[in-house]
Structures are given as structure tokens and as C-alpha cells.
Structure 1
């Protein structure tokens, strides 16, 4: 294990840490080092579960089940009593982000006249859309079914996340708005989308050790990009290697190693705005573990 990798006092008992994240190429790339035991921590064993992000949001709210869980930032105020945010492992849009796409050319004003398919009401994409215009009527559709549902004529427009941001055009769909672009125009900040939360009850030493292990895993992927991408490709829905590389680059980068002060500011601003506009009923209390 390299000197940069996390360490803890070796004990006779191995501590199991449960980790849950989405089955997406960017998350897979992020956890590549840990999932393949390239990054190890003496005395710790990491068990990975893959599940879609809205289901993870709900489980974190209902049970605080996993020690570490990927969550949408929109969901954080609902789980903040049990979880704190890791200072690494987040995905942010640097002037890009979730998009509303449609089967025909539409204006943003047109969106108030139709139903828009959304990937879940706890997703950050949904929060950003509602901050943009709370009057837009929405209906929840599994994220990987939104483009097919639009193509089938069941919806005129949909809010797309994940790889759909790179593939919608080849389905003959048209961009109505990129919420990452809109957010930067409004605030000058990146659009924070998802992060990793860790259970407070683990205690300060474990919080730090596991957070450092994730940071090491991210760095390992960045340092061994070809192998990391090869691993991530098994989770890259409908993407060839070039597009998967582009997608991973969008959401696993220096910002993923550390949000930076402006990234942390963006998280707080997004959640505070959601609270001020009545979308989030709970006062957000954002904190991070290094």
C-alpha cells in the first residue's frame, strides 16, 4: 500500500464497512481502487452494493442502512442527522449538468404546458428544475426509461441525468435547457449533483479513515486511467469507450478529490435556495468530514 493510502491501527478483528453507490460508470471509476482491492486499509473490509440513486436516497432516509452511501445532494437535508458528507467523492457540473430534452423544439416557457418526466423527486436534477421553475408539472419515471418514454410518445419532454446527457441527440431529441449552464449563469458556481455520505455513528477515526480510503481510490483511478476505464466500462450503459471516457472526465476529476471552498459553497447555496423556495422543508445543515 502506498504512503498516500489510508491506514488505521491493525487489530485482530476486521471491520466491515458497507458501501452503496449507483451502477454508473463514473461511480464505478471512483470506487475502482477499493472494489478491486488496489486500495486496502489494514483492519478494514469494504463490501459494495450497487443500486440506483433514487433508491439509495430513500434507503438512507428510511433506515440509514449503509455505512457509506451515494446520495443526491437534494436528499442530504433529510439524512443529515445520521450522515455527514465526505469531503471527496462528489460529482459536480462545471457549467453542465442535467438537461431537459424533448421530442420537438420547445422553449422553456413551453415546459409549463406539459408534463415532464423526472428521475425522482429526491434527485438534485429535480431540485434544480424546481428552483428554475416551480410551476413545471412532473411525473417520476426510472431514469433509464425517460428517453425511451419520450421516444414512445408518452411524454413530450424529460429531465435526463447520467449518460443520457451524452446520448440524447442520437435518439432524435432536442435540448430545451441545460440546468448546469443555467445554474452557472445565475450563481457563477458549479452545480453539485451527488456526493457520498457516511454514518456519523461510526466515530471520528473511522469517518476519517474511510474518507481517506475513498480519496485514495479516486486518485488510484485517475493515476491508472486506462485500467479504471476498463473496469468502469462494464457499467457504461450505451456508451462506447470514447463516450465513457468523456462521461467519467465530466464527473470524476480534481473536484472529486476535493470540492474546494467554492464547491462546498455551491452545495450550501443549492440547498439553502431549495429551502427558501419551500422545496426542502428541513433547514439544511451541511458539514463535511476530511
Structure 2
């Protein structure tokens, strides 16, 4: 028997990521001639690994792509895109966006799209505290920081935690641009070559479609990574970010990425626009 080559897919244990990869994780979707390994880590760790192109395939924050475009191409599938919703800035007490000046704000990683959106739209004369995303709710609730940006399930659960909305960054983005907001991407290493890049991208698309067609089983798998979220809350969150845009971001998704990077250049946050050569399936 011929020994299979191994391709490692990096992704987070977040419900939407795990849901997407269900078909691949259960080996229902395969790439002929290859064994697939899964490296599960938080998005900040994956962002850091991508800087040197360490993984063949990985999830990254959309905002991080300009930093890694020399190593990676964007896959047409696997994107987490919010349509008039996204990361939320919350506080313990009711404050407005303009009142964030001079305050401490907990940020879920320096490479995250939420931090880029904050820098584009919000007062930047703050003290940012970069922490793991799952620490932010407690920091805000305890008053150790004045505000924080919540990702993932926190976007729909913050009211249950007694926190107040300062700004929905995804909704604000939509108000300003009329476009959906690309938050996360899946990317494939340029050194895989054209043919294998296509096969890898197509396998993820098939995995997403399989999860959609077997939602309950895929959801049970995705929620099995210890977040403690209720099943129906998990279903709501997954449906927000694993949808038709995730199967293929389309021209609108590409336009949204271009707009995000263009606004970042205009604000002096990044120097130049990255090349957007998409692996289409």
C-alpha cells in the first residue's frame, strides 16, 4: 500500500469552524492520495503561524491577510461573513462609542478583523488590552476593563450576561459601506501548487455542504469542544456564519475584502493593498 502524504488543516474549535470541517474531520470528505490532519487552535495562534506560512491550509482573520499574502491564496469557500452583524463592543454600563476615548478596551488579538474594524471606526486614543477572546466577558463584567469586543457566541449571548451594547461593528460596517463584512478566511499555501490548491479548496467546500445537509450531526460535533453553549444558541450562531457566503464568497465577498483593505490603507493601518488571487471552486 502506498503511504499517503499528509496535509494539515488549521482551524479553531469555534462552533462555526468546527461545523465547516465536520465532513473532513469524520473522513467523509477525502482528498485522493492524502491523509488530512487537523490542527485546532485559537484564531490568534493560527494568525501567528500563518506569518511564516507554517501550515498548508489554515483559517485566519480576514484582516490578517495583507500580512500573509506572500505565503497564501484565499479560498473561495470557508469565509465567515456577517450580513449586517458582526463583533460587538460591549460595556458593563451604558456608554456611547465617542465615550470610549481614554478608556481601556479588551481586544481579542492584534491581528483580528474586529480590531481592524475598531481602528477604522472608533476612537483610537484608548488603552487596548489584547487578551484571548474567551476572557473578555469576565474582564468587562468585573469592571477590570471599560469595554471589550466580543466574538463568536458572545455576539448573541452578551445580553444574557448583563452587558450593554456600545456598537455592533458588523452593523456599523454595513451602514457605512452597504456590504457584508468578511471576518474570517480560509487560505491555502502557495507552495501547494495550482492543482492541489484546487483539490484542497474543493474538499472544504464539500465538507461545508455535507455539514449543511447533516446539520444536527455536524452541530453536535461542533458543540462538543467544551464551550458550554446551548444547542439552539449554537445553531443560531452557526447559521449566522456558515451559509451560502461560506460555500462561495462570490463577487460581493471579494468586493468586501477589497473595501476593507482599502479603508485600512486610507487610515494608515496597512501600507499597501494585498493581491487577491482567489482559488475558485
TM-score when normalising by structure 2: 0.96
In the alignment, is residue 226 of structure 1 matched against residue 228 of structure 2? no
Q: Which residue of 2 aligns with 1:167?
A: 157
Structure 1: 5+ residue stretches without partners: 1-10
Q: 1:42 and 1:256, CA in 2 relative to 1: closer, same or farther beyond 3 A?
A: same
How large is the Cα RMSD of the aligned pairs?
1.3
The Cα shift of 1:72 comes to 0.3
The Cα shift of 1:133 comes to 2.3
In the alignment, is residue 25 of structure 1 matched against residue 15 of structure 2? yes
Q: Which residue of 2 aligns with 1:154?
A: 144
The number of aligned residues is 279
* Deviation readout 1:127-177 (Å, 9 max, x if unpaired): 011000252422212110001011121011101111111111111100010
Tell me, in whole angstroms, the C-alpha distance in 1 between the residues paired with 2:20 and 2:250. Answer: 18
In the alignment, is residue 71 of structure 1 matched against residue 60 of structure 2? yes
CA contact (8 A) 2:13 2:222 kept: no
Q: 1:211 and 1:187, CA in 2 relative to 1: closer, same or farther beyond 3 A?
A: same
Secondary structure of 1:203's match? helix
The Cα shift of 1:12 comes to 3.6
Tell me, in whole angstroms, the C-alpha distance in 1 between the residues paired with 2:125 and 2:24. Answer: 41
Q: Which residue of 1 aligns with 2:238?
A: 248
In the alignment, is residue 276 of structure 1 matched against residue 266 of structure 2? yes
**39, 46, 51: which one aligns with 1:56:** 46
Q: Which residue of 2 aligns with 1:6?
A: none
The Cα shift of 1:283 comes to 3.0
Q: Which residue of 2 aligns with 1:14?
A: 4
Tell me, in whole angstroms, the C-alpha distance in 2 between the residues paired with 1:238 and 1:13. Answer: 39
Structure 2: 5+ residue stretches without partners: none
Q: 1:236 and 1:242, CA in 2 relative to 1: closer, same or farther beyond 3 A?
A: farther
CA contact (8 A) 2:98 2:123 kept: no
* Deviation readout 1:209-266 (Å, 9 max, x if unpaired): 0000000000000011111111111136231000000010000011100001111100
Secondary structure of 1:113's match? coil
Tell me, in whole angstroms, the C-alpha distance in 2 between the residues paired with 1:280 and 1:72. Answer: 15
Q: Which residue of 2 aligns with 1:125?
A: 114
In the alignment, is residue 113 of structure 1 matched against residue 97 of structure 2? no
CA contact (8 A) 1:116 1:136 kept: no
Tell me, in whole angstroms, the C-alpha distance in 2 between the residues paired with 1:238 and 1:166. Answer: 14
Q: Which residue of 1 aligns with 2:83?
A: 94
Tell me, in whole angstroms, the C-alpha distance in 2 between the residues paired with 1:237 and 1:54. Answer: 17
Tell me, in whole angstroms, the C-alpha distance in 2 between the residues paired with 1:250 and 1:230. Answer: 17
Q: Which residue of 2 aligns with 1:8?
A: none
Which shows bigger deviation, 78-87 or 109-118? 109-118
Runs of 4+ in 1 over 6 A off after TM superposition: none
Tell me, in whole angstroms, the C-alpha distance in 2 between the residues paired with 1:92 and 1:223. Answer: 20
